[in-house]
Amino acid sequence: MRCLLFFVAVVAWSKPVEFTRDVRPILSDACFHCHGPDDSSRMAGLRLDTKEGAFAKAIVPGKSAESLLVKRITHTNKALHMPPLSAKVQLNEAQVATLKQWIDEGANWEEHWAYQKPQKPAAKSIDEIVKARLVKEGLTQNPPADKATLLRRVTLDLTGLPPTPAEVDAFLADKSAKAYEKVVDRLLASPHYGEKQAMHWLDLARYADTHGFHIDSHRDMWPWRDWLIGVFNKNMPYDQFTIWQLAGDLLPNATREQKVASGFNRNHVINYEGGAIPEEYQTEYVVDRVEATSTTWLGLTMGCARCHDHKYDPIKQKDFYQFFAFFNNVNEKGLDGQRGNAAPVLALPSETQAGLLKEINEAVASREKQLEAADVPAQVKAWEAERKFEAPSRTGLLAHYEFEGNMLETTGSYKHGKYLGLPPTPRDGPVGQAATFDSTSLAEAPAAHDFDATKPFALAFWFRGGNNLDPLVILQQKDETGWLFTHDTIFSIGDLRRGAHLIVKFFGPGGAALEMQTVAPFGYGDFVHFALNYDGKGNFTLLQDGKPAELKTLKNTLNGANFKTSAPLTVTKLVGSLDDLRIYGRELSAAEAHQLAVVEPVRYLVENSGIRRTKEQVATVREFYLTYEAPAATKALYARLQQLKRERKELEEAIPTTMVMEERAEMRETHLLIRGAYDRKGEKLSAATPGFLPPMPAAAPKNRLGLAQWLVNGEHPLTARVAVNRMWAQLFGTGLVKTVEDFGSQGEMPSHRELLDYLAVRFVESGWDMKAMQREMVLSATYRQSSKVSPALQERDPENRLLARMSRFRLQGESVRDNALAVSGLLNTKIGGKSVSPYQPPGLWEDVAYGAQFTAQRYEQSHGADLYRRGMYSFWKRTLPPATLATFDAPDREKCVARRATTNTPLQALALWNDPTFLEAARHLAEKTLTAAGPDRAKRLRQMFRTATARYPNAAELALLEKVTGEQLAEYRAKPAEAAKLVAIGESKAKYADVVELAAYTSVASAILNLDEVITKE
Amino acid sequence: MTTRRNFLSQLALGSLLSGATPTKAKSIIYLHMSGGPSQIDLFDPKPQLKRFQGQDLPASIRMGQRITGMTSGQSTLPVASSVFSFGKYGQSGAEFSELLPWHQKIADDICLVRSVNTDAINHDPAITFIQTGSQQPGRPCIGSWVNYGLGSENKNLPAFVVMISQKSGINVDQPLFSRLWSSGFLPSNYQGVKFRAGTDPVLFLNDPEGITPSTRKNILELSGQLNAKRAAELGDPEIETRIAQYEMAYRMQSSVPELMDLSKEPESTYALYGPESKKPGTFAQQCLLA
C-alpha cells in the first residue's frame, strides 16, 4: 500500500486554529471512544462530542491552563494521564499544542460541518475556488492538456469508451471557441453516457446476477439495470431518481417503471441455505438496506450503530432501528430464491405477451368452466364401474419384478432375489409399490436373465431418480460382458426443474462396448417409464413413457461381439426408485409400451378400488379418462385445455421478472435489537429519521416515500453533498471528501469545503440536474489541466488534493476491457438486456459450486457477439465475480461499495497479456490497421498507436515500435505454425491473409494494449 | 530465482513481528477442512453424551440456544454420542478416537483446542465466521488481515495464496465462496491469490500457444520502454510501479511453475502424503504443495 499523507497535516498552526479542521478530528480520534456519543461506554460522565458536554467541566474558554482537559492530557501522573496509557491512540505534542491554542483562542465550537446545511459561497465557479486555494498554497494550475488527451479523458469519463480516431480528427480540426463544449454536449447525449453512470451506481446498489450466500444461484435484476441506464440517459433529476429507487412502489398509482426502480433495495444478497432461520436472514436484508441507503444517500456508516450507539457520530442505536423500520415492511420471506427471483417479484411482459396471456387465461377459464359443468368426477365414477381392463400380454415374458416390498420374480418361477444391506423403502409407485433405494441398499435377482446379441429381447421398467447428482447405475447385469443403464450428470432446466439423459451400455469381451444416450432429457425426480427393444440383429430402439424416443450412439466398438453374461441382474448403489421391471424374450410393440406406461397405472387403481387414492392418483385416473376414454367432444375439449396450459407455461417462462419493493398489508413490528441480534428484541420502535439531522415534516408519511422525500427536500445537509462528491470522485479520482462513504466525524474533512458546498447548492438549485453538474465540472479549467506533475509537486501533494494538475489514474476494470474492445473494433455496443458470459478460464465456478440441480453453478460461456459486450454486462456471480474484472478491483457485490481500490499488481499484467479477450482484441487492432493503413510499416504503426492512445507516437517511440515489429516479423517468419496459433486465439476468425504479418503486428498491438497509457485516463 | 522451499520460508510473516516478542514463525499454513468429521468423533469425546444417550437434550444444557431449521421441526432432540471408541495417548493423555490412529502416535506434538464454540448453526455462516470473524458476508478474511498487517518478504510471489482441493467434475459437497479469501473492505491487493491445480496455477500465468518466449520478452520490453518514456514525460510514479509489476509478472511465469513443480520431490515424500498426493488437485497434493 502506498503511504498516503493528508495534506492538511495536523501540526501546531501559526494561523488561528479552526475547530472543524484542526480540533474536532483530534477529539474524535483520541477521546470520543470513551467520551463520545455512546451512552453505554461513556466514562466519568464526560462527553466531548457536544458543546454542552465539553464546556460543562472540561474546558474553560481562553484559559487552557485552567482547563481540566489540558491538565489531564499533560498530566505527569501516569494514572491520571489522558488518554490512558493503555489506549491505542495517544496524543503527540503538536496535537496537545493545537488543543491548548484552540482553548486559548476562545475555544470556538462548531457543530460537525457535514450536519449543517451547505451555504452558498460568494465564489462563482469551481475554478475560482480551486485557484484561490492554490494561491494561498503558493501553487499555480497546470496549463491545459493537449486537445487529444483532453478528448480522450472526457470521452472515457462521460461514456467509459475511448474516442474514435475520426472523433479525434474532428476535434483537432474544430478551432472554434466552443469546440470542447460541443464535444461535452455530444457525449452527454450519447447512449453510452447512461452506461458509464450506471457502471458506478451498480457498486452502490450491490447489483449482481446471483443471490449470493451459500448456493448463489441465478436471479434476474437486469430489467432494473436497464431502467437505470435509461434514466441516466434521460437525465432524470436526482430527487426523482432517489424517490423512485427508494419508494417507487409507494408513489400514488405507481407505474411499472416506478416499481422496477424500487428494485434498488432488492439487490442485496438473499439466502436459502437449508437449515437457516428465516427471521435471522430477513433481519439481515433490512440491515443491508439501511447500510446501502445510508452509504449511498447520507454518506454515513450507520451499520456501526446496529449493535451499540455509534462511537464517533451522534447516531444512536435507536436511530439505527428507527431507520431500519422504514425498510422492515417488505412482503418478503427470510429464505427465498430457489426458483430464480425472490418475492416480491414483478413480471414484465411486453404488450404482445400481456395481450396473449390475457387471451390464454380467458380461454383456459372458459374451458375449465365447461369441464366443470360436465361433472367429470361423476363421469369417471360411472366409467370406472363399467370399464374392464386387459392385463399386459405375458407372451415371451421371461421375468417380472413388481417390487411389492420384495425382490420376488413373479412370472412363475416365484424365486426370491436378495436385498443386501438395508432393504429399499417401499413407497407408492406407478403400479402398486415401488422400491426406493438409497446408497446403502443393494438388490440382486435370483438368476441371470438371458440377454444374447443374437436374440431379440425387451427390457421395461419405471425409474425415478433420487437426490444424488452424480451419475449412478440404475440397473445392470454385468461382469466383463453384459449391460447397464445409467444417466449423465443431472442438470437444471429453468428454475430447479431437473433433467438428465438416459445412457444405455452394452459390453462385449475385451473392452468392446456400445454406448447410447437419449437425445432429449427426461425429467429427473418424476417416474419415467423406459422400454428398450432389441431386434436380435444389432438394432436398439427406445420407448419412453410409451412413445418412441430417439437414441444417439456415443461410442460403438462392439462390432457384433456378444454381450451375453452369466452375471445376475443387480441394483447397485442406486439412489432412486424402481417399479414394475419386465424382461421379454421379444420386442414390445408401441401399443404394448403404451399399455405398460399409461394404462397399467390406471388399471391397477381401478382394479384395486378399495385403496384410498392420493391426490396424484385421482388426477392420474381423471387424466386417463379425459385423454382416452371420454366422449369425443369432452376429449377434444380436454386436449385443447391441456394445449392451452402448455402454451401458458411457455409464455410465462418467457416473460422476464424483476424483484421489487412491496409493502406488507399488516405492518411488521420493529424492535431495537440488543447487540444487533435478531432474536434479542428490545424496545418497540417505529420509523423515524436520525435525531441529529433535520426532522421530517410532521405531515410526511412515515414510510419509505416520506424518507425519500425528506432526503431530497433541499434542506438536507448531506444528500446533495454526498452526490456531488461522488461525481467529483468519478472524474478526479478522489472525492473532495476522500471518504465518499463516510461524511461523519471519522470521515475525512473536505479538501475544499467551500467548493463542495458550492457544488451541492448549485446541484439543488439546478433542480438536481446530474448532466448539468457533470457538465460544469468537465468544463472547468481545473478539469482541463494537463496531468503532468513535477517531482516537487508530486512530493508535496502526492494525491493531488490541491488540484494543481489533473489527476491521472487507471481505468476501472470494466473500462479496461471496454477500451480494448473499442479500439480494436470488436466491441458490441448493444445496450442492456440479460447478462452475458465472456471468456473465462474453465473450472472457476465449478471450484466453488454446489450441485448441478441449482442454477448458475456451471459457467456456460457465451458465443458470437455476446463475447464482446461491455464489462458491465458480464454475468456477476457473487461467490466468484468475473475473473479479469476482479483482478482489476471489481467488488464481489456482496455489500454496497462507494469507493473501489485502484491497485497495480502483476496479476493485472498477466490478465492483459493472456486473457483471450485482450489477445483477440490485439489481433483485431492489428488486422484493422493492416487493412486500412497500406503497406508502409511506419504508417501502420503510427495509425495503430494512435487508435489506442488518441495520439501519434513521437520519433523515439516510433523507432522502438518499428524495431520490435521487425524482430517480430522475423520471429514469426521463422515459426509460421506459432503465427497461425496466435491469430487463432478467440472465436472470431482472422480474415487477413498474411498470417505471419498479422501475428507480428498482433504481438505489437498486444504490447500497445498493455501500455500504462492505454489503461489510464491521462 | 526463488525455489519452492525458500519461497515457503518467506511466505506471509515479515518485519512487523520483529517488535516486542521475537518470533520463530516464518509462514502460516492454514488448512480449512470444509465438511470434515465432527470433533466429537475425532478428539473431543464429551463423555457425558454417553450418559444422556437417546434422552432429550436437557434444557440446562441447551439454555435456549437456537437450532438449525434442519432439526427445529423434530418433536424431540435426542442426545447422540460418538459411535467410535476413544483412548488416551502420549504423556499428555490426549484423547483420540480410533479414526485417528496416526494422531495417537504423535499426541504430545499436537496442540488441541477443545474450548472453541460458536453461535453459527449453519454451514455458510459458520465458515464465513471462521474466515472473517462475522457470520455475514463483507468482512476481510484472516489471510487478508495477516497480509495487510504483516505483508511478505517475498517480492516474486503473492503473500497470500489459496488452494482448493478439487473433485472430478462439479462439486456435490457444500460450496465454497471467494468471500472466504476476500479482502472485504481492505484494498483488493490483500485478497488471496488462488493457486489452481494443473498447469495454469495462477490465472493467465502461462502464455498461450503462439506467444513464443521471445515474443513475450519483446512485448514486455517494448511496453516497458514505452512506459518509461511516458513516465519521464509525465512524472507519474504510478507508471514506474506498473513497469515493476510487469517485470514481476514475467518473473512469476517461471517462479510459480517452479514452486508448483513436485517432480523433484523424492518418492519418500510422496509416501508420507499417501498415493493421492500424486494426483493434481487432491487434498493430499495440496498439503504437499503447502
Each residue of A563-620: pLDDT tens digit?
Answer: 999 998 898 878 889 999 999 999 999 999 999 999 999 999 999 988 899 999 999 9
Q: Does A274 touch chain B (CB under 8 A)?
A: yes
Contact call for B70 and A274, based on CB within 8 A? yes
- Interface touch A883/B212, C-beta < 8 Å: no
CB A830 within 8 A of CB A869: yes
Q: For chain A, which ranges sit under pLDDT 70?
A: 1-15, 412-413, 468-469, 493-496, 851-852
Residue A530 domain-assigned (yes or no): yes
**E strand or H helix that includes residue A155:** helix A147-159
Residues of B in contact with A915 (CB under 8 A): 204
Question: Among B136, B175, B233, whose Cβ lies nearest the Cβ of A284?
Answer: B136
Residue in B203, B208, B248 closest to A911 by CB: B203
- Tally of CB atoms within 10 A around A980: 17
**Is B200 in CB contact (< 8 Å) with chain A?**
yes
Domain total of chain A: 3
How far from the centroid of its chain's Cα atoms is residue A486's Cα?
Answer: 35
As a whole number of angstroms, the distance between CA A819 and CA A163 comes to 10
> Which of B236, B248, B256 to probe by mutation at the A interface, max A CB count within 10 Å?
B236
In a domain, A959, yes or no: yes
Alpha helices, DSSP H, located in chain B: 4-10, 48-52, 59-62, 101-105, 123-132, 142-150, 213-234, 237-260, 267-273, 283-289
Residue A1015 C-alpha cell reads as: 489503461
Residues of B with Cβ-Cβ distance to A957 under 8 angstroms: 226, 229
Residues of B in contact with A1010 (CB under 8 A): 219, 223, 246
Q: What DSSP character marks residue A990? A: P
A729 in a domain, yes or no?
no
Q: Which residues of B touch A212 (CB under 8 A)?
A: 137
For A840, list phi and psi in degrees, rounded to 5: -155, 140
Residues 816-845 of A with CB under 8 A from B: 841, 843
- The two beta strands, B161-162 and B193-194, are parallel
Nearest CA-CA distance, residue A636 and chain B, Å: 46
CATH number, domain with residue A462: 2.60.120.200
A858 touches chain B (CB under 8 A): yes
Strand (E) or helix (H) holding A258: helix A256-261
- Which residue in chain A is spatially nearest to B73 when comparing CA positions? A275
To probe the interface with B, which of A3, A840, A913, A1014 has the most B CB atoms within 10 Å?
A913
Angle (CA) A997-A1002-A1005 rounded to 5° is 130
C-alpha cell at B96: 483420540
- Taking CB atoms and an 8 Å cut-off, how many pairs form between chains A and B? 250
**Is A413 part of the contact surface with chain B (CB cutoff 8 Å)?**
no
Nearest to A849 among B71, B171, B207 (CB): B171
Tallying the residues shown for chain A, one arrives at 1018
**Residue numbers in B near A1011 (CB within 8 A):** 223, 226-227, 230
Exposure pattern of A926-949 as b/e (b: 16+ CB <10 Å)?
Answer: bbbbbeebeeeeeebbbbbbbbbb
pLDDT value at residue A495: 58
Domain ranges, residue A983 = 914-1017
CB-based contact B66 A960, cutoff 8 Å: no
Query: Chain B closest CA to A909's CA: distance in Å?
Result: 6
User: Chain B window 78-107: which residues touch A at a Cβ cutoff of 8 Å?
Assistant: none
Residue A142 resides in a domain: no
Contacts with A470 from chain B: Cβ below 8 Å: 169, 172
CA distance B84 to B74: 25
- Asked if B202 is an interface residue toward chain A (Cβ–Cβ < 8 A), one would say yes
Chain B partners of A917 at a C-beta cutoff of 8 Å? Answer: none
User: Which residues in chain A have their CB less than 8 angstroms from residue B196's CB?
Assistant: 843, 847
Q: What is the pLDDT of residue A869?
A: 98
Grid cell locating A301: 456508516
Instruction: In chain B, count H helices and then E strands.
Output: 10, 4
Chain-chain contact of B177 with A848 (C-beta, under 8 angstroms): yes
C-alpha cell at B140: 476481510
Q: What is the pLDDT of residue A975?
A: 98
A629 in B contact zone (CB under 8 Å): no
Closest partner residue to A276 (CB to CB) among B69, B158, B242 is B69
Contact A311, B104 (CB under 8 A): no
8 A C-beta contact, residue A674 and residue A680: yes
Q: Chain B interface, mutation test: which of A1012, A1014, A1017, most B Cβ atoms within 10 Å?
A: A1012
Q: Which residues numbered 173-192 in B keep a CB inside 8 Å of some CB on A?
A: 174-179, 182, 187-189
Q: Quick check: is A982 in a domain?
A: yes
Whether residue A964 and residue B239 make contact (CB cut-off 8 A), yes or no, is no
Least CB–CB distance from B252: residue in A846, A903, A906: A906
Find residues 761-790 of chain A whose CB sits inside 8 Å of chain B: 787-790
Judged by CB atoms within 8 Å, which residues 3-62 of B form the interface with A?
none
- A893 in a structural domain: no
Query: Could B226 and A983 be called an inter-chain contact, meaning their C-beta atoms sit closer than 8 Å?
Result: no
CA distance linking residue A489 with residue A210, whole number of Å = 22
Q: Label the pairing between strands A576-584 and A457-465.
A: antiparallel
From A93, A110, A127, the end of a domain falls on: A110
Query: Of A543, A563, A585, which residue is a domain's last?
Result: A585
Q: What is the 3-state secondary structure (H, E, C) of A677-704?
A: CCCCEEEEECCCCCCCCCCCCCCCCCCH
What phi-psi label fits residue A743: left (phi over 0), alpha (psi between -120 and 50 degrees) or beta? alpha
Whether A736 maps to a domain, the answer reads: no
Instruction: Label residue A919 exposed, middle or buried (CB < 10 Å: 0-12, 13-18, 19+).
Output: buried
Amino acid occupying residue A750: P
A914 in contact with chain B, both atoms CB, cutoff 8 A: yes
Residues of A in contact with B71 (CB under 8 A): 275
Quick check: B215 contacting A, CB < 8 Å?
Answer: yes
Spell out, as residue ranges, where chain B has pLDDT lower than 50. Answer: 1-20, 168-171
* Domain-terminating residue out of A567, A585, A603: A585
Alpha helices (H) in A31-85, listed in sequence order:
32-35, 51-57, 68-73
Alpha carbon distance A736, A753 (integer Å) = 8
- B250 φ, ψ (degrees, to nearest 5): -65, -40
Interstrand relation of A528-534 and A522-524 (parallel, antiparallel or unpaired)? unpaired
Tell me how close the Cα of A756 comes to any Cα of chain B, in angstroms.
26
Which chain A residues contact residue B194 at CB under 8 A? 847
Question: CA nearest A863: which of A888, A898, A839, A835?
Answer: A839
**Range A610-638 burial, b when 16+ CB lie within 10 A, else e:** eeeeeeebeebbbebbbeebbeeebeebb
Which chain A residues are closer than 8 Å to B249 by Cβ?
906-907, 909-910, 913
Residue of chain A with shortest Cα separation from B136? A284
Pull the grid cell for residue A75.
498530566
pLDDT at A251: 98
> Where is A151: in which H helix or E strand?
helix A147-159
* Grid cell locating A446: 435370483
Question: In this complex, is the C-beta atom of B66 within 8 Å of any C-beta atom belonging to chain A?
Answer: yes
- Rounded (5°) CA angle A327-A329-A330: 85
Q: Quick check: B254 contacting A, CB < 8 Å?
A: no
B242 close contact with A: CB closer than 8 A: yes
β-pairing, A482-487 with A547-549? unpaired
Would you tell me which residues 453-512 of chain A have a C-beta closer than 8 angstroms to some C-beta of chain B? 468-470, 489
Whether residue A83 has a cis bond before it, omega within 30° of 0 = yes
Q: Which residue of A has its CA nearest to B221?
A: A1007
- Give B151's contacts in chain A (Cβ within 8 Å): none
The CA distance from B52 to B45, in Å, is 13
User: How far, in Å, CA of A867 to CA of A30, rounded?
Assistant: 53
A89 within a domain of the structure (yes/no): yes
Would you call B242 and A967 a contact, using CB atoms and an 8 Å cutoff?
Answer: no
Other CB atoms within 10 A of residue B20 CB: 6
Nearest-angstrom CA–CA distance, A754 and A743: 15
- Give the CA-trace dihedral at A535, A539, A544, A549, to 10 degrees: -140
The whole-number pLDDT of residue A1001 equals 98
For A849, name the nearest residue in chain B, comparing CA atoms only. B175
